[in-house]
Amino acid sequence: MPEAADPPEQRHEALVCVRLTAATPGSRLLEFLRAEPCAVGAWWIAADIDAVVRLASPSRTLLNRAVADLRRRGGAEVLAVHSVLRALDLPATDPPVGDRSVVRGAAATSGAEGACR
């Protein structure tokens, strides 16, 4: 009898549109995101918002905490949170030339820092 496959790991993701307070420098958001284990990508945006942040976690609770921390510790004045339901079936492509998105490298290895990996 073949072994049963492990169920796929459930992963909760959100795209968060962020507008910083007038007194918050962009460096504060960047510093926060670099230390936030649920932050897996971020882009500066030229629009009515300052940035879009991609958060991911195996736990809805951890994801909600990361969103709340974006406001408290990241300096966000306005957040618009969009939960990701599933990926669209698109062919894999290379990133566009000049893609300068901020994407996390290797997973953190210590306790809480690695909780979202």
Predicted confidence band of residue 90 (pLDDT cuts 50, 70, 90): confident
Domain count, the chain: 1
Beta-carbon contacts of 9 under 8 Å, excluding residues fewer than 6 positions away, are: 58
Whichever domain contains 24, its CATH number is 3.30.70.920
φ/ψ bin of 57: left (φ > 0), alpha (ψ from -120 to 50), beta (otherwise): beta
Q: What pLDDT shows up at residue 106?
A: 38
State how far the Cα of 58 lies from the Cα of 9, in Å rounded to an integer: 7
Please tell me the distance from the alpha carbon of residue 75 to that of residue 27, in angstroms, as a whole number. Answer: 10
61 belongs to a structural domain: yes
CA neighbor of 63 nearest in space, from 43, 86, 36:
36
Asked if the structure places residue 28 within a domain, the reply is yes
User: What's residue 44's pLDDT?
Assistant: 96
Chain-centroid distance of CA 33 in Å reads: 8
Please give the residue range of the domain that contains residue 78: 12-86
Residue 64 domain-assigned (yes or no): yes
pLDDT at 4 over 90: no
